[in-house]
Amino acid sequence: MKIAPPHADMSDGKLDACVISKLSPPRLLRLFPSVYSGSHLNFPEVEYFQQKRFQLTTQPVVDVYADGEYLCPTPVEIAVASGVIWSSFPLMQVHLP
């Protein structure tokens, strides 16, 4: 499954994000299989962007998870930190040379 765009690059220092507009159930069923090939980016309801930092604000407030771990409620700012690995369990920060 290629939820991230097929051309996403883990080393470019940017976050790749897909935002999907509200879809009707039939439209969602039509779009979902395209995730396996990465062609979901061709749907007009899918917006793709790359940024070094972005803020996610929702109404109502929702919980934010990363790799299945709860992080915090929205709003949240997400950013790329070059040469740093963050871990939510245990809480630690590792600096790479």
**pTM higher than the cut 0.85:** no
Distance (Å, whole) CA 23 – CA 21: 6
- The parts of the chain modelled with pLDDT lower than 70 are 1-6, 82-97
**Domain regions of the chain by residue span:** 1-51, 53-97
pLDDT at 84: 66
* Residue range 38-60, pLDDT digits in tens: 788 888 888 888 889 988 888 89
The residues, any chain, with a CB within 8 Å of residue 30's CB and separated by 6 or more, are: none
Omega prior to 60 cis, within 30 of 0: yes
